[in-house]
Structure formats: structure tokens, C-alpha cells
Amino acid sequence: MKTITIDNRIIPFTIAKKNNKNTYFYFKKDGYIQINLSRYQTSKFALEFIRNNSTSFLRKFDKAMKVKKADPTKYFYLGKELSIMESNDKPNIQINEYEFIQPLVPTDQLNKLITTFEKTELLKVLENLKQKYINNPIIDISNIYIKTRYTKTRFGSCNARLGNINMTTHLIHYDIKYIEYVFLHEICHLKHQDHSVNFYNVLVKLCPNYKQLRKELKIIYR
């Protein structure tokens, strides 16, 4: 990994050439800056941009380093904090009002059980949201196909041609209002595949407070 010196501090970075219109900078909690370079710009441009905006970059870098690690004794389910409990007599994951109960099994097996649990639970939430909005007069969602997968950088995606909505299973940890916002955001891409004014004009009809929800989700999403 290469490094750049900013105000006498040595900061690691990686550069990946992308087919993007713009260059994007990501501040990783592992202690480096990831640069996704646009097709129009050079590595020299990106590094010079960092140096010219050193104060802002160092502030964001330090903020990323301060992200607290998850408490291994807690599990968040739809925004509610549950205590993690282990059990010898339960083969699968179960939850109640206060506890996230997981079986005493090898780590690899437990991770698979958690992945299946989160996928199943999120699909239940999304199916309920589909039924809630299936008769809306703005977008026809009667034939959409909902899928989930774990992604670190995207809340969701939409393939308008196939009618597929894909949501990250990580959302199961957050209050349902945020899941609903992401769901509405993605179904709006069935009408507009970009983030144009027309897209947001549709989104605001389905989710009038989307700006506040989007802001909150970006702050708490870890």
C-alpha cells in the first residue's frame, strides 16, 4: 500500500481506476484512504487534490478512525438492542423481546446461521413493505422481485429492466423506518434509473421526509 504525507502525517492509500465520471475518496476504518479514480483524471491529480484540501481530509480520516467497534455482547435487531445469549439446546437462532439467542456451535457454522437469519428476517420486512405499497398510484410494484445480499457500501440497488430490488442484509440492524426509506428509494428507480430531479420528485411523493431519513442513516450506518 502506498502512502502520502499530509501536514507531516503519513497516510496510507490505494488507487483503483474506475469508469466513473467523478473521482471518489473513501475513508476506511482500517486506516487508509481508498481512491476510486475517474476515467478522466490521473493519480497525480487525486493526490494533489488531497494535499490542497489537507485539513478536510485529515478531519475525515480521523473521524473514520474513531468509529466504535461493535459490542460483541449486543445485537441490534430493527433498531432494538438485544443481549446476545448462548444456548446448548437451541439449534437455530431465536430472538425474544430482550435476547438474541444463538447456539453454541463453531464460528463458521454460527456465521452461516446468522447470515440465513438476517436474510430471512429482512425478506419478511421487505415483503410487508411491498404489500403496504403495492396499491400506490405512482409506481407499479406488483411484479417486483426482492433479493438480499450483504454489501458494505450500498444500501440497495435496482435493476429496472428485470424488476429486481436488492437490499443489503445489514439493514436488519436498523429501525424499520430506514429500511422503508431504502425500499422506497429503490422502487423509485423503476421509473427513473438516475438521481435526477424527476427521480426525487417521485421519491418525495412516497417518502416526504426522505432527506432527513437519508441524513440519519448515513450517520448511523456502520
Answer yes or no: do 53 and 147 share one domain.
no
Note whether residue 90 is domain-resident. Answer: no
Q: pLDDT-derived band of residue 62, with 50, 70 and 90 as boundaries?
A: confident
Separation between Cα atoms, residue 15 and residue 156, nearest integer Å: 25
Which of left, alpha, beta for 151 (phi over 0: left; psi -120 to 50: alpha)? Answer: beta
pLDDT at 67: 56
Q: What average pLDDT does the chain have?
A: 91
Note whether residue 76 is domain-resident. Answer: no
Span 197-208, average pLDDT: 96
Share of the chain above pLDDT 90, in %: 71
Where is the domain boundary, 16, 45, 65? Answer: 65
pLDDT at 75: 94
Span 22-32, average pLDDT: 87
Answer yes or no: do 205 and 120 share one domain.
yes
Residue 172 near residue 122 (C-beta atoms within 8 A):
yes
Q: What does the block give as the cell for 37?
A: 479514480
Residue 6 is part of which domain span?
2-65
Q: pLDDT-derived band of residue 64, with 50, 70 and 90 as boundaries?
A: confident
Note whether residue 9 is domain-resident. Answer: yes
Note whether residue 154 is domain-resident. Answer: yes
| CATH classification at residue 187 | 3.30.2010.10
Answer yes or no: do 61 and 111 share one domain.
no
Note whether residue 84 is domain-resident. Answer: no
pLDDT at 153: 76
Separation between Cα atoms, residue 93 and residue 118, nearest integer Å: 10
Answer yes or no: do 125 and 188 share one domain.
yes
Asked whether residue 68 carries a pLDDT value surpassing 60, the answer given is no
Note whether residue 172 is domain-resident. Answer: yes
Residues 6+ apart with CB under 8 A from 66: none
Answer yes or no: do 45 and 114 share one domain.
no
The domain tally of the chain equals 2
Per DSSP, helices labelled H in 106-209 are: 107-133, 176-188, 197-206
Answer yes or no: do 123 and 215 share one domain.
yes
CA dist list (Å): 128 to 68, 96, 133, 206 = 32, 20, 9, 16
Comparing 74-83, 187-196, 213-222, the range with the smallest average pLDDT is: 213-222
184: exposed, middle or buried (C-beta count within 10 Å: 0-12, 13-18, 19+)?
Answer: buried
